[in-house]
Amino acid sequence: MRTRIGIVGAGPAGLMLSHLLHRAGIESIVVEARSRQYCEARIRAGLIEQWAADMLVETGVGARMQRESMVHDGIHMAFGGALHRIDFHKLVGKRVTIYGQQEVVKDLIAQRLADGGQILFEASDVALHGIDGRNPKITFTHEGRAQEIDCDFIGGCDGFHGVCRPSIPDGVLTTYDREYPFGWLGILAKTTPVADELIYAYHPRGFALFSMRGPTLVRYYLQCAPDENLDLWPDEKIWDELETRLGGTRPLPRGPLVEKIIAPMRSFVAEPMQHGRLFLAGDSAHIVPPTGAKGMNLAFADVRVLSRALAEFYRSGASDLLESYSQTCLRRVWKAQRFSWWMTRLFHQFPDETPFDKKRQVAELDYLASSEVAATSLAENYVGLPVE
């Protein structure tokens, strides 16, 4: 097989890259290790920054999102037994959209297939070759046959555990990694939302987060040990703990739990995000703790930069945008890392904190709730900084 851009990974980064390239008249092939059913069913975060929601609409894959999503003007912070609202729209004139990542993936897959795009699901033994030369290749096994894709460039969009980043020679990358001393116990429950916008809760027992996936499906998270045993968390204990950490700020509608997970927390960046003809995007290059809701948005920002650089290369032969891809993306990545770390530090209980640290933490929350200047900074970062 021959294509201009070989893409490894059919998550938000790989699918959006393929979609944007198609709109620029550039052909691509996507190779994915998992099945289509797995990709479309895997539930992940669902908060979309305003610029990213606008991009989905402008590029023709946002119609269902417009019909089914929830648009939020702000968030609530819970501490000291009270709710405090940060009004994004009032402060910075922007909003965020709540629409599950799995729904974005469904929409992108449907559009790529409708446009005649190639997505090769359930590909095994994926390997990259010749990324230092002018004609890189992707080899893999698909439907029992050995396959090979000759291409001009490769988009490495296969996530943190994928094959693309390890394909870069030793000594090229510098990695920055921080693992947090806690995780999130996440539940998905069939019940009505406790509020009309997200609630970030600070409590001496640990952080809690309320989110939603629809009018009858909600997502909650509880700070827990990174190696927490789910068997020690029966449903009633989870609901009781959520009520405690929300501090009595709202009556909590209970319902059956349809999912329980333990999500680890880490910050990770690999620099540079490119080597030779391989360009990393999304989770293959960086991971953020989910407190700041930046994961999918950063992936979209990466491939927006990359698609424009590739379009310019094929239009004029100029490679300056491709050469500066990593530098351009990393400016945004590190700002998102800073914000995600700050949000994590703001709401969570850390094992090494002193009584002074806890008092400072509450004072900072109080400052956010009472200062328009402080709240504006939070709002600006949460709804999404300007894109390149």
Instruction: List residues with catalytic annotation.
Output: 72, 200, 290, 294, 382
Residue where the block lists tokens 């921080």: 178
Q: For residue 312, how many other CB atoms are within 10 A of its CB?
A: 16
- Cα–Cα distance between 117 and 97 in angstroms, integer? 27
Residue where the block lists tokens 């090494």: 352
User: Residue 155: what are its φ and ψ, rounded to 5°?
Assistant: -95, 115
Cis peptide before 272 (omega within 30 of 0): yes
- Crossing angle (nearest 10°) for helices 325-347 and 295-316: 170
Name the nearest CA neighbour of 343 among 241, 230, 198.
Answer: 198
| The token pair that represents 229 in the structure block | 């045993």
| The token pair that represents 320 in the structure block | 């300056």
| The token pair that represents 132 in the structure block | 């230092």
Strand partners, 145: 142
**Cβ-Cβ contacts under 8 Å for 354 (sequence gap 6 or more):** none
- Cα–Cα distance between 240 and 146 in angstroms, integer? 53
